[in-house]
Chains A and B, each alone.
Chain A
C-alpha cells in the first residue's frame, strides 16, 4: 500500500506553482473554475422547448407578472455548468467519508433505479387509494421491518428527517401525558446527546435540563436517578451515544424513567451500530426515530432529503400521527381523516402535508430486502469491527479518551491532546483533505476537547481503512511535532481555507447585479 507515491509534501511549497500562475483562465486542466449562472445566463435564453399555447382568454384577474430576473442557459450550457460544479465536490463515490454521527456509506444504485420506477415516482399523494396499492404496500413493508427490527409495536412513517422524527416522538409523549391528565414540564437530555434533542424539546414547550456524563463517557445513572421526578416528561438518550459507546445501563435507565411515570426517548441516529443485534424495545425504549437515510441508505445529496420514521412502545402507539397505512386482508388503506374516531381517535395530528418520504421508503425497502435479516446483522458487526480497528490502530498516536471504557460501537473518538505549535483538530481535518479524504466529524461531542469522531461504516474495505489510518497517523505525528505547515492546509482542494467569519459578519446570501 503506497500513499502519496510522488513523495510531495506541503512544506515543499505549491507543486507546479509557476504553471498555476501562468494559466490565463484560472482553470487547472480538469479542474475548471465555473462562474455563477447569473454571470453566464441570459433572460432570453432557455434550454426547454414548448408547444404553442392554445388561444384562450386570460383569467389571472389582472395580476399578471411582468419581470422576474431569472437567467437561463441552453441545454448544453446547463449540462456543463452543473457537471463542472459537481467536480468541486467530495463524495462517497470518490472515497471514504469518516463522519461520526452521520453515517456516510455506499449508496447502492439499485435503490435509485427502483425509486424512479414510474409506479412509485409518478403517482400523486392524493390519488384514489385503490390506484396506489403498491405504494401503500411499500410503506407498510418498511414499517413492518422497522417494527420487527426494533421490537416495538407502533410506527409513524411521516416525519421527513431525523429531527422531525424527534419532534414526532416528543409530541406523542406529550399527547400521551395529556391524555392521562398529567402535565409535566421538563425533559432531561444528557450532555452527550445530539444538539437537535434539546432544540426539539424546547420547541415542544419543555424546559430542558442536562444530565452529566461520567468519566467513562456514559450517562451518569446516579445523577439521572437523582433528578427524576413527577415533573419529568421524558428522558432523551442517544444510544449508542455520541462518545461512540453503548449505554450499558440502558435497561436500568428505562426502569427508573418508567418508575416516575416518564417516557424514554431514544435518538436512533446511530441505529446502524446495533441493527439486527439489539431490539431497542427490549431495552425499555418508548419512542425512537430512525434516520432511514443513514441506516437504510438514501444518498445524502449534499444535505438531504432524509426520512425519520418513529417507532413506539405499546403506551405511545395510539398517539402516532396521521396519515398512516393499515392492512386489511389483501388491501391497504390510508387513514388520513382526523375525524375517524374508530381508527385512531388519539392521533396527535398531522406533521406534514402528505404521507412522508416515499422516495426514501422505496430505497429503504430495496436495501432491507437486499441485506435481509442476516445481512443487517452483518452490517452492524462490520461497522463496529471497522470502528474498533481504527480506534486500536491509532490509539498510540492520538489520545482516545474512552478507550478504557470498553469496545467502541460504530464510531471511534479521539481528542487533540498533545498537539504542539497551536495546531488543533481543524488543522488535522484540513490536512486530511490534502490526503484525499473527507475530514472526520470535528469538535463533537462537546464533552471531549478537540473531538475527532470517526465513523468508517461497514462498506469500507480493510485496504481503505489502512490507507486512512496511515494518513491520519502521519498527520497526528506532524501535529504533535508542531509542524506549522499544517496551518496552510488544504493546498490541493478547489479552495484554500475559506473566511467563514467574514461570511457571517456581512452576509451575502444571493447574487446581486452590482
Chain B
C-alpha cells in the first residue's frame, strides 16, 4: 500500500510499546456485533497507480469537455482562459497541503494571500470590506439573506425574478426551516430590467429585510440598482446584490457603487474553472458598519512580538467553535485554495487586464448576438447585456440543446431546464460568449440552429 509507511516490523514494535497483541485489539471498544472481521464486502481490493489512472481517464473520456466543442454555456458558471501559472502556483505543496491558518506564525503565506484577496474582492464588488470566501455564490446569497435578517430584525426577503433559479431554490430550502418568508417570482422573457426594478420597489414594505437582485440578471439584463437601493433604505431594508459572472465587474459599475449593502458573488470565473459545478468560490462583501455581522472567515493585519507586520484570522468570536449555538452561521471553512487561484488570476490581470478581458467578452458577445439574431426562428430578447443574452426560439429549447449536443455543439442553457413547468419560458435559450469563443464557434452554432429550426 504505497501511501502507508509502516512495515510489519514497525507495527510489531509499536504494539509492544502499547502492550496489546494486535491492531484489532485496539478496536475492543467497538461492540463486537458491529465489528467487521475482514475487508467490507462488495468493494474491490487495492489497485496500482497506473490501473487507477487508466480507469478514471476512461471515465473522463466519456465527457465532452468544453475545449472539444463550440461552447456557449453560462447561467452561473463561466468558462474563461486561466493563465498556466495560476494552476502551477496553487499546486505548490506549501499552499496546496497547508492547513487553515490557526497558527499564524507559520501560515503567513496563506494569511497574506487572504488579506490581499479580501482587498481585491472588496474593490471589485465596490464595498468596504470582504471576507476570506464562502463555499459558492448560492450559499453566500443565502447567508446574505440571513445576515440581513440579523441586522434589520425583519424576516421577509424579496427575491428578484432575475436571480438564478438555483440560488432561489437554495434560499427556499433554508427558509423552510428558519421561518423566513421569501417572495419569489420568475423572469419575464419579454420584460426589461427597468420593469423588474419598478416591480421590486413597489413590493418593499415595513416587513422587508432585504431585496435580493442579481446583476446582470439570469437572462443577462443589466440594471441600474441606484433607485432600488434608495427605495430599500427609505423603508429600512437592505439591498443584497448578487454577481454570478465576476468578469462582468471589469465592464459594469459595481453593485456597491450603486448602493448595495451586501454584495455576494460567484468567483469561479477567475482562476477556478467550471469543475462540473464545484468547487467554486463564494464572494461576500459589505459595508464597514456590518463587519461583525458578516459570516465566514476574516483575515486581519496585526504585528508580532518584534513589531513586524503580520496577519491573523480575526473576529472569530462570531464563529461556531467559540459561540456554538449562538454563532452567526455554521460555516466552518472557506474555499481557501479557490480563493488563492482567484487572487492569483486577479493579480495577473490587474485592473488593466481585467478591463481588457471584460471588453473582449462584451465585444464577442455583441457580435455573436447580432449574428444569431439573424437565424430564422431566433429572436434576441436581451437589450442590455454583458457576455450572456437570451434568445427566443420558435419552439421549446430544451430538446434543441440536446440535439445540438449530440451533434457536438454545446449550445447554451435552456430556460426549460432552469424553469421546468414555466410554459412562458420554455422557448428561451441562454447563450454565453467569452474570450474563449471563436467566430468559428459562433458560426457553428448559427449553422446548427438554422438546420434544426428550419
The judgment on whether A and B are partners is yes
CB within 8 Å for A171 and B177 given contacts A60-B386, A68-B124, A148-B42: yes
A126 engages B73 (CB within 8 Å): yes
Contact check, A163 vs B333: say whether CB atoms are below 8 A apart.
yes
Contact of B67 among A118, A138, A163 (CB under 8 A): A118
User: What is the CA–CA distance of A137 and B59 in the complex, to the nearest angstrom?
Assistant: 7
Instruction: State whether the Cβ of A259 lies closer than 8 Å to any Cβ in chain B.
Output: no
Interface size on B, residues (CB 8 A): 215
A199 near B: Cβ within 8 Å?
Answer: yes
What 12 new A-B contacts, CB under 8 Å, besides A114-B53, A122-B79, A507-B298? A46-B352, A82-B344, A128-B401, A135-B276, A163-B330, A245-B29, A299-B96, A338-B169, A362-B56, A372-B44, A376-B40, A381-B24
- With CB as the reference atom, state the residue of chain B lying closest to A360: B279
B394: interface (CB < 8 Å): no
- How far apart are the CA atoms of A138 and B277 in the complex, in Å? 14
A175 to B28, CA, bound (A): 37
Known contacts A137-B59, A276-B36, A339-B421, A123 near B106 by CB under 8 Å: no
- Residues of chain A lying within 8 A (CB to CB) of residue B254: 65, 68
Interface residues of B in 160-189 (CB under 8 A from A): 164, 166-167, 169-170, 172-173, 176-179
Q: How far is the CA of A356 from the CA of B440 in the complex (A)?
A: 33
Q: How far is the CA of A459 from the CA of B11 in the complex (A)?
A: 13
Residues from chain B with a CB closer than 8 A to the CB of A73 are 347-348, 350
Tell whether, in the assembled complex, residue A282 and residue B34 are in contact, meaning their CB atoms are under 8 Å apart.
Answer: yes
- Indicate if B250 sits at the interface (CB-CB under 8 A): yes
Chain A 457-496 interface mask (CB, 8 Å, partner B; 1/0): 0111110000000000000000000000000101001111
Chain A residue numbers with a CB within 8 Å of B137 are 353
12 A-B pairs within 8 Å (CB atoms) are namely A59-B385, A61-B222, A68-B355, A90-B98, A119-B60, A126-B75, A134-B59, A137-B59, A174-B177, A304-B334, A349-B170, A438-B106
Indicate if A221 sits at the interface (CB-CB under 8 A): no
The answer to whether A86 and B39 touch (CB under 8 A), given A119-B63, A122-B67, is: no
Interface mask (A339-375 → B, CB under 8 Å = 1, otherwise 0): 1000000001111111111111010011011111111
CA A386 to CA B405, docked complex, whole Å: 52
Q: Is the beta-carbon distance between B85 and A79 smaller than 8 angstroms?
A: yes
In the complex, chain A residues whose CB is within 8 Å of the CB of B177: 171, 174, 204-205
A393: which B residues are within 8 A, CB to CB? 17
B62 touching A302, Cβ below 8 Å: no
Select B120's contact among A58, A70, A438, beta carbons within 8 Å.
Answer: A70
A297 smallest CB distance to B (angstroms) = 8
Q: Give the interface centre of A55, A433, A438 by most chain B CB atoms within 10 Å.
A: A438
Chain A hits for B64, CB < 8 A: 123, 127, 131-132
User: Which residues of chain B in 324-354 are interfacial with respect to chain A, using CB atoms and an 8 Å cutoff?
Assistant: 324-327, 329-338, 340, 344, 346-354
Q: What chain B residues lie within 8 Å of A57 (beta carbons)?
A: 366
Which of B31, B301, B347 touches A81 (beta carbons < 8 Å)? Answer: B347
B448 near A: Cβ within 8 Å?
no
Is B1 a contact partner of A119 (Cβ separation < 8 A)? no
Chain A contact residues, majority secondary structure: loop
Residue of B nearest to A42 (CB): B350
B93: chain A residues at CB < 8 Å are: 91-94
Q: Known: A69-B351, A131-B405, A461-B6. Contact between A348 and B359, CB under 8 A? A: no
- How many Å from the CB of A292 to the closest CB on chain B? 11
Distance A299 CA – B90 CA, assembled complex (angstroms): 11
Interface check B45, CB cutoff 8 A? yes
